[in-house]
Amino acid sequence: MRHIINPPNPYNRYSAEYVGEPPPTRLEILEETATKKVITKAFASDWEGGWRYTVNCYRGCIHGCTYCFARQYHEYLGYGAGTDFETKIVVKPNTPVLLRQELKKTRDKMPHLDFSFATDPYLPLEAEYQLTRKCLEVCAEFQVPVGVITKSPLVTRDIDVLKKLKKVSVFFSLPFLTKEKSNPFEPYTPVPEARFRAMRQIADAGIEVGIGVAPIIPGYNESDIPGLLERAKEAGATRAFMSMLHLDTDSIEAYFVEKMHERLPLTRVTKIINTMKRERGGSLRHRTYKERGTGKTEQWEVTKKLFEFHSRRLGFRQHETPVEAVVATPPVQQTLF
């Protein structure tokens, strides 16, 4: 049983602390009527041009990756970046309608749309709501190029729509080779094997598919890089990118460290923390946005070369990476009911 753990929300004046064991978590689905725009402009430092346009039909993510940078966006809603992010899921059922309205106005200027960045577009809830699917249908109608980043095989349900798009790439976020290695950091995601199988299906359908070896957690999964790239190649992927773990806020750092202590032996945790601190110049956090996805030491250079060598050897295309973007401004609080 999971218990509520949320680091204090910096946007709230008060935070709750439980005397004794916190109560168990429970899944809450909240529907929100989006009243403004559903296309968000986000900045991605590594991407040529910098700006990305993203659509997210949900807020929060049941997959619960402990390293997830999107946890901070839940704090804008007044929730916690810990278990609240994983269990209080906000659904925006009118996203496809608003997307159509926006694209009617902007279609000639919209260079692309990314489905990702604030949540996984293929949460288990998507099986019922089908909002990502409906949005993809709108994109097909307006012939807008699309990028999808997911950890879920549910994306294969939408192969028929993806094939109608003018230009599309599907990236699977896959930083660990085995379930055992993934579990401490990605406790509720589909296992790596399921992601590779889905990758194969997408590639077999003739859709461009890639692997995101992200995050690299220093001292933990660098050695998985060659194997991940090889498996991805076998599964039909043609593109690959990599980036280092970045803990964007105090809350994310606190939750990440707490969960490591819960799920890994102390020696392993100490190794990760010490290696990470060396890469960040003494703390677990990067100092500037530019340093967000990269390290400072020669060891990181070796890791990068390892990735580049195997990417080249296997014929992956690089440098057109859908790196993680940061929402430029906190989303406006909208009506919950």
For residue 304, give Cα distances in angstroms to 68, 99, 128, 299. Answer: 21, 38, 40, 9
**Helices assigned H by DSSP within the chain:** 71-76, 83-87, 95-106, 126-129, 131-142, 159-162, 179-182, 192-204, 225-234, 250-263, 266-280, 298-314
Beta carbon nearer to ligand SF4, 253 or 308: 253
CB nearer ligand SF4, residue 140 or residue 202: 202
Q: How many Å from the N-terminal Cα to the C-terminal Cα in the chain?
A: 28
Instruction: Tell which one of 5, 61, 245, 323 touches ligand SF4 (CB under 6 A).
Output: 61
Establish if 68 lies at the interface with ligand SF4 (CB under 6 A).
yes
Neighbours of 134 (CB within 10 A): 17
Site string for ligand SF4, 246-285 (x = CB under 6 A): ----------------------------------------
174 scored as a contact of ligand SF4 (CB under 6 A): no
The neighbour count for residue 4, using CB atoms within 10 Å, is 17
Single out the segment in contact with ligand SF4 by CB under 6 A; choices: 11-19, 58-66, 94-102, 263-271.
58-66
| Among residues 88, 92, 151, 280, the one that binds ligand SF4 under rule CB under 6 A | 151
CB of 56 to ligand SF4, least distance (A): 9
Q: In sequence order, what are the beta bridge partners of 249?
A: none
- Residue 208, helix vs strand vs coil: strand
Distance CA 152, CA 123 (A): 7
Helices 131-142 and 95-106 cross at an angle (nearest 10°) of: 20
Q: Which of 32, 38, 39, 64 binds ligand SF4 (CB under 6 A)?
A: 64
Nearest distance from residue 176's CB to ligand SF4, in Å? 12
Show contacts with ligand SF4 in window 189-218 (CB under 6 A).
189
Q: How far is the CB of 119 from ligand SF4 (least distance, A)?
A: 5
Kindly tell me which of 140 and 154 has the beta carbon lying closer to ligand SF4.
154
For residues 132 and 155, give the distance between their C-alpha atoms in angstroms, rounded to a whole number: 9
Q: Residue 117 Cβ, how far from ligand SF4 at the closest point, in Å?
A: 8
Q: Which of residues 108-137 bind ligand SF4 (CB under 6 A)?
A: 119-120
- Selected binder of ligand SF4 within 55, 57, 70, 146 (CB under 6 A): 70
Stretch that binds ligand SF4, among 31-39, 56-64, 129-137, 327-335 (CB under 6 A): 56-64
Based on CB atoms, which residue is closest to ligand SF4, 246 or 280? Answer: 246
Minimal distance in Å, beta carbon 61 to ligand SF4?
Answer: 3
Q: Identify which of residues 92 and 310 has a Cβ nearer to ligand SF4 in the complex.
A: 92
Length of the chain: 337
- Residue 324, CA distances (Å) to 31, 128, 220, 263, 319 in order: 26, 27, 20, 26, 13
Beta carbon of residue 123, minimum distance to ligand SF4 (angstroms, whole number)? 8
> Shortest Cβ distance from residue 215 to ligand SF4 (Å)?
9
Task: Kindly report whether the peptide bond that precedes residue 215 is cis, defined as omega within 30 degrees of 0.
Answer: yes
Binding-site residue total for ligand SF4 (CB under 6 A)?
10
**What phi, psi does 307 have (nearest 5°)?**
-65, -45
Q: Among 132, 80, 90, 53, which residue's Cα sits nearest to residue 333?
A: 90
Residue with tokens 């993680």: 324
Q: Which of 52, 55, 57, 63 binds ligand SF4 (CB under 6 A)?
A: 63
* Separation of alpha carbons 60 and 17, rounded Å: 22
Binding footprint of ligand SF4 on the chain (CB under 6 A): 61, 63-65, 68, 70, 119-120, 151, 189
